[in-house]
Amino acid sequence: MVDLSDREISGEIIESCRRGDREAFRALYDTYKDRVYSIAVCFFHGDRAVASDVTQQVFLKLITSIGRFRGDAAFSTWLYRLVVNACLDVARRRTPESLLSTLADQDTPAEPSSQEEAYARAQLASSVRAAISTLPEKFRIAVLLRYFDDLSYEQMAEALNCSMGTVASRLSRGHKMLAERLKHVNSPKA
Amino acid sequence: MTMWTRHVSGKLATYVDAELTPQAAQRVESHMETCAQCRTECDRTRSGMAMMERLPIIEAPDSIWMAIEAQLRDRPTTTPAIPSWRLAVAATVIVAVAGAAAWRLAHPAATRWEVQRLAGSPAIGARPISGVGRVGIGEWISTDADSRAVVAIGEIGSVEIEPNTRLRVLATRPDEHRLALARGEIRATISAPPRLFFVDTASGTAVDLGCEYALNTDEDGSGLLRVTKGWVSFEWKGLESLVPAGASCRTRPGIGPGLPYFDDASDAMKQALGTFGYEKVAGNGLDVILAEARVRDTLTLWHLLFRIAGAERARVYDRIAALTPVPAGVSREKALELDPETMKHWREELAWTW
Amino acid sequence: MWRFGIVTWAALAFAQGFTFTIGSPVASQDGRSKLAAFVFRIEGCAEPAKARVGGTAEGLVQGARKSAALKLVAMSTPGVYAVYPSWPAEGDWVVNLNGTCAGANAGALIPIGPGGFIRASSTFLPRPATAPEIDTALKTLSQGRHK
């Protein structure tokens, strides 16, 4: 799993955001923007335009409703509830024209040691994203939440508004489906 | 100790993630000792999780924050829980404007691409272009039946926009120039390293690998990619068609890229591909394709290997082998299994005949 | 005695097929070749990186014979080169390639048509092409285009 536990936001920043502190909101945005965006890109079949819109919606919703965050749960749990709702809402409303799917994956790998290796990694990441996009939405969002943040199963249950048993079941089935779809990774390569 | 006799498939993710209590984990392990099905499913769960590790975090583009800032500037506050926000927003307006200006200085006009009118009244969003305009991220360029335009793609090339076309700019970064073609036709001429320029359509993405090409998309997302120089990879959900110069490839939404074919292939072959280019090629269509194929049509046949199976795949393999010698290192057995290394090596050798 | 050895070695190199194979730019697997007229690789050479390759573009422009320097760029795979158009659009042109490897020679004549290089009419030789052979290739190309 991606280990980003050191990126959890502090209570002070949350409190500053409630008071309308712009810099605090920017700090909060910077902490979570890439994870939220990554989840949205993978959820929406690589459609970066939609992912940008969803990310924007999530943070606007966050800043206008942060006053309602009671602090009795991890902030990230609350944030990812917004992410889940935004992804599922937009998915329900999507029109055919807006279904612009992409597979091309140009995200820079962490440490490309050669152009060929970077290319190979990008190809593999692309294949994984493609397989993710074939999962049913509820499995897809669960798998993405688990990977892109370090939420516990309990926190995921809260974000997904379901029981821990349901989280476990969706993750089990989702990952098995992924493994099945990727077992050959037979895409012809350019 | 109680051992679950029912399968534990629903608990496998929790088990692999060590989220079970020690006792529960022990019970799962004991069950798997005697249950091959659950062991297999556990392996698959681990495999799926390992595959997720291949995904990098994607950096959110700067445009998102700019859009948020713009919304916050324009939005009247109605949230009593944060009464100071209005003052904070007013106080930060100057900062925001200065910030935006500073951002534009750091990211000058190059991130808004120049669009030149060639004919009629092309538009950026709702604004007609009379001479030269600029298009930014998220904006649409539209042409009607009488309009044409050309957009400069940063420093790497240009795209001509034919009539009745709608095109959106998705990314203008130095490491990613990306458009989305909703309908119509564009002609791209790109001089850049591979994989800097992309065009998304409803049926896949054209990935520039250094080339000139024309891409046409219908209202329903069906498209035709024709490459005149270099080569293009057209990709969608794990399906990829490599389209070199002199070749074309049809695409359909929900199905992705069809089989690439050379433009000088026989009419019979193109007709057979037109009918069966997307789904599994079978029956008479396959007979025609195999009979009509020349040496350079191994481009089509090699891609066809991935779209069919069993005896039909074996027929295609045999036809390729009859047209051109199978290179050393490519065994029939591994090719029929679509072994990735084998297929890559074979394609590299076949490319010398395309 | 050593001269006999070199002749034998050269003969061996040719016997093993020191020659050129030509292809579309896609064959190079190298994005730098995207706008090349064609690419070629040397075959039957034990050390491709040490082979010497060169050539010219030979043309017939309004009845007059012309020559142009050839722009060859080595690709990332040893022994693979891209040939970029260095000749004018006017007239009929043939690319005259030659190379040496461990004392063995190879040559090729590749006609260039409106659609790019003409594989079917290309000639491969165990030595550099002669002037008459170049003239014949140009004449054939010219007659074929102006039929």
What's the ipTM?
0.85
Strand partners, A43: none
> What pLDDT score was predicted for residue B86?
31
Residue B349 Cα, gap to closest chain C Cα (Å): 8
* pLDDT of res. C145: 66
pLDDT of residue B60: 86
Using an 8 Å Cβ cutoff, are B236 and B203 in contact? yes
pLDDT at C114: 86
Interface residues from chain C to B (CB-CB < 8 Å): 21-27, 29, 31-35, 41, 115-116
Query: Using CA atoms, how far apart are residues B145 and B126, in angstroms rounded to an integer?
Result: 16
By CB atoms closer than 10 A (0-12, 13-18, 19+), residue B247 is buried
Nearest Cβ partner for A124 among B43, B54, B306? B54
- Given a cut of 60, whether residue A4 has pLDDT beyond it is no
pLDDT of residue B54: 78
Q: Are C69 and C86 in contact (CB under 8 A)?
A: yes
Residue A82 three-state SS:
helix
Of B225, B238, B202, the closest CA to residue A100 belongs to: B202
Record: contact B245-C25, CB cut-off 8 A? yes
User: Hunting for tokens 């583009």 — which residue is that?
Assistant: B61
**A69 in contact with B, Cβ within 8 Å:** no
The answer to whether A122 contacts B195, with C-beta atoms less than 8 Å apart, is yes
Q: How many CB atoms sit inside 10 A of residue B155's CB?
A: 10
Give the single-character DSSP code of A101.
B
Overall pTM > 0.80: no
If one counts every other C-beta atom within 10 angstroms of the C-beta of residue B58, the result is 24
Report whether pLDDT(A77) > 90: no
Chain C residues lying within 8 Å of B249, measured CB to CB: none
- For residue range A81-90, what is the model confidence (pLDDT) as tens digits? 899 999 988 8
Half-sphere exposure of C62 (CA within 13 A, CB side): 2
Query: How far is the C-alpha of A147 from the C-alpha of A168, rounded, in Å?
Result: 14
Alpha helices by DSSP H, listed for A95-190, are 115-133, 137-148, 153-160, 164-181
Please report the pLDDT score of residue B193 as a whole number.
64
Q: How far apart are CA A172 and CA A149, in angstroms?
A: 17
> What average pLDDT does range A100-104 have in this prediction?
37
Place of tokens 């929406």: A44
Task: Give the Cα separation of C142 and C91 in Å (integer).
Answer: 8
Tokens of A16: 């500053």
What is residue B74's predicted lDDT score, i.e. its pLDDT?
61
For A165-182, write each residue's pLDDT tens digit: 999 999 999 999 999 888
Q: Which chain A residue's Cα is nearest to B343? A: A188
Which one of B197, B212, B228, B231 would you mutate to disrupt binding with C, by most C Cβ within 10 Å of its Cβ? B231
Residue B308: per-residue pLDDT: 87
The pLDDT of residue A118: 66
Token match 């688990």: residue? A146
* Weakest mean pLDDT among A2-11, A34-43, B89-98: B89-98
B176-190 and B197-201 strand pairing: parallel
Q: What is the residue-level pLDDT of chain B in tens, covering all 354 positions?
A: 344 567 888 889 888 888 888 888 889 999 998 899 999 899 888 888 888 887 888 888 888 888 888 777 665 544 433 333 333 332 222 332 223 333 333 333 346 899 999 999 999 988 888 888 888 888 889 999 999 999 998 877 889 999 999 988 888 877 788 888 888 899 988 766 667 788 887 777 777 655 777 777 776 667 888 888 888 888 777 778 899 999 999 887 777 788 999 999 999 998 888 765 545 555 678 999 999 999 999 999 999 999 888 999 999 999 999 999 999 999 999 999 999 999 999 999 999 999
pLDDT digits (tens, 9 = 90+) for A123-148: 778 788 888 888 999 999 999 988 88
Best residue of A100, A145, A167 to probe chain B, by most B CBs closer than 10 Å: A100
What is the amino acid identity at position B114? Answer: E
Give dist(CA B238, CA A40) in Å, integer. Answer: 19
Q: What is the pLDDT of residue A117?
A: 66
Strand B148-153, strand B113-119: pairing? antiparallel
Backbone angles phi, psi at B333, to 5 degrees: -60, -50
Q: Rounded CA gap, B187 and B195, in Å?
A: 17
What's the confidence (pLDDT) of residue B112? 83
Residues of chain C with pLDDT under 50: 1-15
A8-12, A65-69, B8-12, B201-205, range with greatest mean pLDDT: B8-12
Q: Quote the CA–CA distance of B176 and A5 in Å, as a whole number.
A: 29
Quickly list DSSP for C11-53. Answer: HHHHHTT-EEEEE-GGGGT-GGGTT-SEEEEEES-S-GGG-EE
